[in-house]
Amino acid sequence: MTTKKKRKKRLRLRYEGVKFLTYFIFFLLLFIYTITNSIKIYSFYQYKKTDEYKIRTMGYSLEETKDFLKIIDDDIKEFLLTNPKEDIYYSITQEKYFLPKNYIKYIEYQKSNQNLSLKDIIAMVNVHSSEGWYNNTYKTDMSKKNLILVNKFYQLEEGYQRDDLVEIPLQYSYDDNKAAKEVVDKYIEMHKKVKEELGIHLMVNSSFRSYEEQNEIYKSFRSKGEAYADAYAARPGFSEHQTGLAIDITSTAHPYSKDFKESEEFEWLKNNCYKYGFILRYPEGKEKITGYSTESWHFRYVGVENATKIFKEGITLDEYYAYFIEK
Ligand SMILES: [Zn+2]
């Protein structure tokens, strides 16, 4: 072969190689492009099936949607996907003490009580007061010990009486008052502190009451009508006094509840009783939650740790129990 021919052949081979490489790169890029797009289409198709996509199509922002996903269950999902967006459907989830299990109840209660704040809606649904006093009642969970809840929804058994009731010594109490031993010990400690700091002598007016005794009290109030009786006295089985964990306190300086409410010893108790494991059980402004007119004398023992938390949160036992204890 001549040198000329050899060169020509080499050139043709090089040309074929370049052509092949060009085609190869072209088809490779086309292949990658097609695969990438297919993945994208497939991913979007998959994304459309997610709750995130479905909630977003209802008009909620990505941030709102992500918050919903943290609490979502079948009921919440169905609600969000079948009801046109309203601000409250999201804003209620951002309230303190919001419980996902109550979501639908909050919404329903808010619709028929638009004068109430979201804070009240949350509290009232959590503690059942939205259901109406005594309408739905539940057996109280006795395993909760110092935290057993007794209110207009949680009921004690008729014959229930704890077996560690002791007499409160007469220098700290009027006649014939008993309470759980731990309660009496802590009350005496608190009594001494009040005496030391204010020179005031606290007295217990009433503490443990049996089912039968409560029945008599309720009946006496009932002569003025059921609504009146329910505002001031518990129905039998629904009184904290039956637990042996509640004590009614006033002082020798202010024996009457009306004066006691204005006294410095009440102010002291309100702000310090948690250090001894007590809480003011029916505070002012919480009537919608507790179902009782405020009682400056009624203190409930829950133990120091719980009392401290309840005091710092500024909530009632009912709210505390619903949010932190009852799961
Ligand atoms: Zn009381």
Other CB atoms within 10 A of residue 146 CB: 18
Would the pLDDT of 288 be above 90? yes
- Residue 232: its pLDDT value, please? 86
- The answer, yes or no, to whether residue 278 has pLDDT greater than 90, is yes
pLDDT at 13 over 90: no
Cα–ligand 1 centroid distance for 166 (angstroms): 18
What average pLDDT does range 254-282 have in this prediction? 96
Give which of 286, 290, 318, 289 is closest to 302, Cα–Cα. 318
Q: What is the mean pLDDT of residues 140-153?
A: 96
Q: How large is the average pLDDT for residues 4-23?
A: 85
Q: Residue 218: which pLDDT band, with cuts at 50, 70 and 90?
A: very high
Write down the pLDDT at residue 67: 98
Residue 209 Cα to ligand 1 midpoint, Å, equals 10
Average pLDDT, the chain: 95
CB-CB contact of 158 with 214 (8 Å): no
Residue 279 has pLDDT above 70, yes or no: yes
The alpha carbon of residue 199 and the mean position of all alpha carbons in its chain are separated, in whole angstroms, by 39
> What is the pLDDT at residue 6?
81
How many angstroms separate the CA atoms of 271 and 273, rounded?
6
Instruction: State in Å: Cα 203 to ligand 1 middle.
Output: 13
Other C-beta atoms closer than 10 Å to the C-beta of 169 total 11
pLDDT band at 16 (very low <50, low <70, confident <90, very high): confident
Query: Residue 16 CB: number of other CB atoms within 10 A?
Result: 10
Task: Return residues with CB closer than 5 A to ligand 1 (ion).
Answer: 248, 298
**Cα(138) to centroid(ligand 1), Å:** 21
Give the model's pLDDT for residue 40.
92
Give the integer Cα–Cα distance in Å for 321 and 99: 12
Can you give the pLDDT at residue 3?
73
Rounded CA-CA distance 100/282 in Å is 27
CA of 275 from ligand 1 middle (Å) equals 20
C-alpha to C-alpha distance for 158 and 258, rounded to whole angstroms: 32
Average confidence (pLDDT) over 80-96 = 98
| Cα separations in angstroms, 194 against 132, 142, 160 | 39, 32, 33
Between the CA of 244 and the centroid of ligand 1 the distance, in Å, is 11
pTM for the model stands at: 0.88
pLDDT at 308: 98
Can you give the pLDDT at residue 298? 97
**Ligand 1 centroid – CA 298 distance (Å):** 4
**How far is the centre of ligand 1, averaged over its atoms, from the C-alpha of 245 (Å)?**
10
Cα 233 to middle of ligand 1, angstroms = 9
Cβ proximity of 176 and 168 under 8 Å: no
| Mean pLDDT of all residues in 140-162 | 95
Q: DSSP for 260-295, please give it.
A: HHTSHHHHHHHHHGGGGTEEEEE-TT-HHHHSS--E
1 — pLDDT class (breaks 50, 70, 90): low
Rounded average pLDDT over 91-112: 98
CA neighbor of 158 nearest in space, from 211, 214, 197, 215: 211
Out of 33-42, 246-255, 298-307, least confident range = 33-42
Ligand 1: distance of its center to the CA of 294 in Å? 11
- pLDDT recorded at residue 272: 98
